[in-house]
Amino acid sequence: MKKYSAFAVAREALRDHIGWERAWQSPEPRSKYDVIIIGAGGHGLATAYYLGKNYGIKNVAILEKGWLGGGNTGRNTTIIRSNYLQDPSAAIYEKARSLYENLSQDLNYNIMFSPRGVMMLAQTQHEIRGYKRTAHANALQGVSTEFISPQKVKKLCPIINIEGPRYPVLGALWQPRGGTARHDAVAWGYARACSDMGMHIIQQCEVTGVNTMNGKAVGVETTKGTIVCEKIGIVVAGHSGVLADMAGFRLPIESVALQALVSEPIKPCMDVVVMANTVHGYMSQSDKGEMVIGGGADGYNNYSQRGSFHHVEETVRALVETFPIISRLKMLRWWGGIVDMTGDRSPIISKTPVKNIFMNCGWGTGGFKAIPGSGWAMAELIAKGEPGPLAEDFRVTRFREGQFIDESVAAGVAH
């Protein structure tokens, strides 16, 4: 794989760009691999990458029923933060955030990481107490956050209306080293690095069955034939329950659509990320000038990748009050992603009842920000057969044991 650099760009510009290679190969599947990763989204690709980088396991196939990064990885609002209350959550999200800081250099691919800072607005007295509690917890966890005044909120984001009649801004939990990254570039960067290590990324290859023998995984059935393997990692977000059913066990998750939209592009006016949990709306501005807006999840289980009008109306109405400047913008695009929710709104990174099948799911609405940390922890689980420090608390048996990691109560929002 040729290294990307300013010199390479200049060289190719002088010879009509004829020397660029494919970023990743598209091979036909072999009959056998050491590890099969089902799902070529950010989490699946990161898992494969860290299997190769950290453990030298490179005889790996990443199977994707659609196209690479075409699921939730390409359908989110790209927010990166680690200001969680519970210790296991803060640990894995802070690991991810720290890996994001150097990921462009690590992958030799510009993921457009922008540590512009994330603020979570406190618009009720209850939220003030909750966010101050989180700031104290973050200090103990080594996560840099602080609770800031309405005046500092206004200074950091001049377009915000802090005196809204329904939802005045009373302060905010501020994480200056949070931010955003380009979602597609994260998937493409990991894919390029995996392909360079000799791993096979096989698109348009749907898994139709999971083969087991004596309670142990032995391979998968796909639309491109039977593939034998030693270990299987299932990383398919909203379809985790479907794959678990194929393998013969059930998961404590449900799938719903989460919605987002972007406006038409405008001149730069906002260089931070603002989240407002009271109204469940959050907004940032992309490098292209679009206002990237996220809203709520549907109130019923579904596998839709479309939006619904009532959620857009509720979210935009609240954000227009908080950001009057956006009231006359036109909506450019609107979509949904299928998210998998657990009862405690925290993920599952775990062994399963079937030996050598490992599950990574349940990220709910917080999946993108966790991609590097999730891949790091899942790779360790697959390579060693046992969870490491990042993953041990996210075992699937915690629901039977009553050892919940309850971020829904801690954050007052799904994620």
163-219 per-position pLDDT tens digit: 987 889 999 999 999 999 999 999 999 999 999 999 999 999 999 999 999 999 999
Helices 371-384 & 42-55 angle (0-180, nearest 10)? 50
User: What per-residue confidence (pLDDT) applies to 190?
Assistant: 98
Q: Are 207 and 221 in contact (CB under 8 A)?
A: yes
pLDDT of residue 33: 98
Could you tell me if 189 and 335 lie in one domain?
no
Task: Give which of 345, 391, 368 is closest to 42, Cα–Cα.
Answer: 368
**pLDDT mean over 236-263:** 93
Q: How is residue 18 written in tokens? A: 């004829």
The Cα 375–Cα 349 span in angstroms is 10
Report if residue 372 sits inside a domain.
yes
- Residues 70 and 208 placed together within one structural domain of the fold: yes
- Among residues 339, 373, 390, the one where a domain terminates is 339
- Could you give the CA distance from residue 340 to residue 301 in angstroms, rounded to a whole number? 10
pLDDT at 278: 83
Cα 140 from chain centre: 25
Task: Identify whether residues 74 and 191 lie together within a single domain.
Answer: yes
Q: For the segment 28-74, what is each residue's pLDDT rounded down to a tens digit?
A: 999 999 999 999 999 999 999 999 999 999 999 999 999 999 999 99
323-325-327-332 Cα dihedral, nearest 10 degrees: -100
DSSP 390-407: TTGGG-TTHHHHT----H
Is 236 within a domain?
yes
Share of the chain above pLDDT 90, in %: 78
Q: Do 221 and 355 fall within a single domain?
A: yes
Tell me the pLDDT tens digit for each residue of 254-299: 999 888 999 999 999 999 999 998 878 899 999 999 999 987 788 8
For residue 367, CA distances in Å to 19, 136, 194, 372 come to 36, 24, 20, 10
Q: Is there a single domain that holds both residue 165 and residue 198?
A: no
For residue 284, being part of any structural domain is answered with yes
Residue 229 lies in a domain: yes
- 230 and 271 housed in the same domain: no
Per-residue confidence (pLDDT) for residue 246, from 0 to 100: 95
DSSP 2: P
pLDDT at 209: 97
> 3-state class of 352 per DSSP?
coil
Residue 260 belongs to a domain? yes
Residue 355 above 70 pLDDT? yes
In a domain, residue 88? The reply is no
CATH number of the domain at 43, please. Answer: 3.50.50.60
Q: What is the pLDDT of residue 165?
A: 76
| 200: CB partners within 8 A, 6+ apart | 25, 27, 29, 30, 33, 60, 61, 62
Confidence of residue 142 (pLDDT cuts 50, 70, 90): very high
Does residue 239 sit in the same domain as residue 364?
yes
pLDDT digits (tens, 9 = 90+) for 296-348: 788 888 888 877 777 788 888 888 989 999 999 999 988 888 999 999 999 99
Give the containing element (helix H, strand E) for 50. helix 42-55
Find, among 361, 304, 377, the residue nearest to 94 by Cα: 377
Of all residues in the chain, what percent carry a pLDDT higher than 70?
A: 98
**Neighbour tally for 158: CB within 10 Å:** 10
The last residue of one of the domains, among 339, 365, 388, is: 339
Residue 115 lies in a domain: yes
pTM tops 0.75: yes
pLDDT at 17 over 50: yes
Q: What is the pLDDT of residues 387-409, one digit of tens each?
A: 999 999 999 999 999 999 988 64
Compute the distance between CA of residue 369 and CA of residue 379 in angstroms, rounded to an integer. Answer: 17
> Does 369 share its domain with 401?
yes
pLDDT of 414 higher than 70: no
Q: Which domain holds residue 289?
A: 100-178+255-339
Average of per-residue pLDDT across 339-361: 95
Q: What is the DSSP letter of 122?
A: E
Give yes or no: residues 40 and 165 share one domain: no
Beta bridge partners of 225: 222
* Domain end point (choices 299, 314, 339): 339
372 in the same domain as 353: yes
- Numbers of helices and strands, H then E, in the chain: 12, 18
Task: Answer left, alpha or beta for residue 288, where phi above 0 means left and psi between -120 and 50 means alpha.
Answer: alpha
Same domain membership, residue 295 and residue 204: no
pLDDT for residue 336: 87
Confidence band for 126, pLDDT divided at 50, 70 and 90:
very high
CATH number at residue 320: 3.30.9.10
Is the residue at 8 inside a domain?
no
pLDDT at 106 over 50: yes
Q: Are residues 146 and 107 in the same domain?
A: yes
pLDDT confidence of residue 412? 41
Q: How many domains, in total, are found in the chain?
A: 2
